[in-house]
Amino acid sequence: MTIAPVQRTASTAWTDARLILALEEVVETELNRHLKVAKEWMPHEYVPWSQGRDFDGVLGGEAWSLEQSKVTPLGRISLVVNLLTEDNLPSYHHEIATMFGREGAWGTWVHRWTAEEGRHGIAIRDYLLATRAVDPVELERARMFHMSEGFESDNAHSMLHSVAYVAFQELATRISHRNTGHHSGDPLCDQLLAKIANDENLHMVFYRNLLRAALELAPDQAMRAIADVVINFRMPGHGMPGFERSAAQIAIGGIYNLRIHHDDVLQPVLRHLRVMEIGGLGPEGLKAQEELGLFLAGLDAQAAKFDERQAALLARRAANAAKK
């Protein structure tokens, strides 16, 4: 079964400015839907303040040491990566406010999204410091370094590429937070990250539905954007210090890896939009659709190889642990 685009318009006619204007009504509809389903929650309610105490330094408290934390080593690594990613919110806000504008429904969404994302960093940092889950000095140094570098989107050249990217990235972030909570070793941390993950899922739905409308308006351009984004996808935290090493540990630990990226992030969005079933595309759209299909097949094969290596490594670790 193929799905014909609702409306065919020459792709050359759809500039960023025209698309933003044409999608304004969709943004307003999705914004109103989001505001109805989003539930207010308070970050401070998920922080065990009674566990907090002064650190060394100005207040002369107790220096941090690793044994003070109940969070698992894997959970700690992923929590720091997730927090540093959230910390770059000023750069993300600048990117989307510049791309989508600050007026009308677009502007209302940009500010609402920023406000909701802001509480994620607040909640995670307060939790980490109150529970002494991480070295506060190293955390602050990493924050300063990461934010000083700033963030520049790979997709700032195109409105459609930007929408396609966040449709996948919001779901990737949701999965990362949720799995981090499961691996944290602390039920309260798991509960906190579940709240954050729920926000991220609502953000994904907003952008996914917006991307669906874009596919109807400008199918060839939107298909090209989807293919480019999927093929070249990078998480926004890729520039943080030690990201490659942390990402490898997170992958092996089962929080976020190729298999999860393929099965739980890319495929759900693509299936919902029925991207591979869209018919009536022009030459550029057909080319992008074909490239996307080939890439997904290759990624699935890479994920299968990763699964084998991961299973072997975990088996060796379990065997070594049993000998001790």
User: Do 281 and 223 form a contact (C-beta atoms < 8 A)?
Assistant: yes
- Residue 272 annotated in ligand binding: no
SS3 278: strand
- Residue 170 annotated in ligand binding: yes
- Residue 291 annotated in ligand binding: no
Query: b/e for 23-38, b at 16 or more Cβ within 10 A?
Result: beebbeebbeebeeee
138/239 Cα distance (integer angstroms): 17
- Residue 203 annotated in ligand binding: yes
What is the Rg, in whole angstroms, of the alpha carbon atoms belonging to the chain?
Answer: 21
Main-chain dihedrals φ then ψ at residue 241, nearest 5 degrees? -60, 130
Residue found by looking up tokens 């699964």 in the block: 307
User: Do 189 and 74 form a contact (C-beta atoms < 8 A)?
Assistant: no
Q: What is the DSSP string of 36-54?
A: HH-----GGGGS-GGG--P
- Residue 216 annotated in ligand binding: no
247/255 Cα distance (integer angstroms): 9
38/60 Cα distance (integer angstroms): 42
- Residue 62 annotated in ligand binding: no
Binding site residues for Fe cation, as ranges?
Answer: 86, 117, 120, 170, 200, 203
